[in-house]
Amino acid sequence: MDKIEEEYRKKYSEFETFTSRLGQLFETILKSGNISYHLVESRTKSIESYCEKINRKQGKYNQPLNQITDICALRILVYYIDDLEKIEKVLRENFLIDEANSYDAKNNMTENEFGYLSSHFVVSLKTNRSKLPEWTAYAGLKAEIQVRTVLQHAWAAISHQLEYKKNYEIPSVLKRKLYRLAGLIELADEEFQEAREKHNAVEIAIKENIALSSSKTLEEINLNTIKNYFSQNPQIENQIDKIAISAEFEINNADFHMNERNGFFSEIIKICKIQGISTIAEFDKVLKKELNGSAQKKLSDLYKIDNTDWTASTEFIVLLLMIMNLNKIEIKNYNNRIWAKSVWKRFIEIADQNE
């Protein structure tokens, strides 16, 4: 065993570098393919774990460095079930798959088994990549890539604490509960995918003004309708930006990540609910009245109380105007203390004036 351990110690840094670079490569491939993922994590089997595995499986490995396929490993967590197929396609396009050592639980578990539906692919570099100077040193090395949804991972992480890996190990008193939990996880994965498909259908319907089973969806204030309102009304956006610039704000939508911009939209929706604005038509009326009224003066006054330059997005400016349209009671209900004290103080003063 000392000789085996020493061999692995000498190769460990090479395996560790391969693992790291493989993780970076895979993230690049996923991003270039516009495939959403929650996490790509990597690990290289520790020296202790490597030796323990060889000891545990006495006689199985006579050339462990070549035979153990999970020395280098990646775990990829995705959001939806159909993302699993996208990942598999990417793997087959970019790597050689060792089919004999790969495993896909969904195709191997019977209906009366429980467990996490996780896929394991043992991969190596294709010839075209392994010939590149930066990859030549890793030609022939293998890695295990585990792919599962976020919910499958949650099931795996929690059930692992129970220490039952095989069906026959489970006390009968626990079997029914574990079957039900496993079923709930699978059902939740399917429901989330259906929810995403419904979300996509609603988004398309709103953009194209297609009638849905409920016309309320097209009229109500929600994230989809308010985003569509701005994308379909560039003249409104231009008016907002011009007013903001005249008040000395710098408008640069590119500086704000979509998650930030969605956050501003969310705050606008919250304020609409406080004010009893429930439809896009009502929002349009309120916004246009504000833009054609004292919007520029309000923004100028607000800008002057802060010593720093304000770089803003269009929806952030709308949020500021919506806040400055609140009265004393409404601003107490809003009460979002993410703002600088000086700015919040000005909001309160304006709210008092709006009484």
SS (H, E, C) 243-292: HHHHCCCEECHHHCCHHHHHHHHHHHHHHHHHHCCCEHHHHHHHHHHHHC
What is the separation of C-alpha 330 from the centre of its chain, rounded to a whole number of angstroms? 33
Length of the chain: 355
CA atoms of 351 and 327, how far apart (whole Å): 4
Question: Is residue 303 very low, low, confident or very high in pLDDT (cuts 50, 70, 90)?
Answer: confident
Quick one: average pLDDT of 234-240?
A: 92
pLDDT value at residue 41: 93
Give the chain's domains with CATH numbers. 2-154 (3.30.460.10), 217-353 (no CATH)
Average pLDDT along the chain: 84
pLDDT value at residue 111: 46
Quick one: average pLDDT of 2-23?
A: 90
Q: With 60 as the cut, is the pLDDT of residue 112 above it?
A: no
Q: With 50 as the cut, is the pLDDT of residue 322 above it?
A: yes
Q: With 60 as the cut, is the pLDDT of residue 115 above it?
A: no
| Residue 149, SS3 per DSSP | strand
CA atoms of 170 and 25, how far apart (whole Å): 40
Quick one: average pLDDT of 250-260?
A: 86
CA atoms of 149 and 155, how far apart (whole Å): 10
pLDDT value at residue 132: 92
Give bridge partners of residue 119 from the DSSP assignment: 104, 147
Share of the chain above pLDDT 90, in %: 35
Q: With 60 as the cut, is the pLDDT of residue 224 above it?
A: yes
pLDDT single digits (tens) 138-184: 998 999 999 998 888 887 777 666 655 555 566 777 767 777 777 78
| Residue 104, SS3 per DSSP | strand
- Lowest-pLDDT range, 129-138, 180-189, 245-254, 258-267? 180-189
Quick one: average pLDDT of 296-304?
A: 86
- What is the value of pTM for the model shown? 0.62
pLDDT value at residue 305: 73
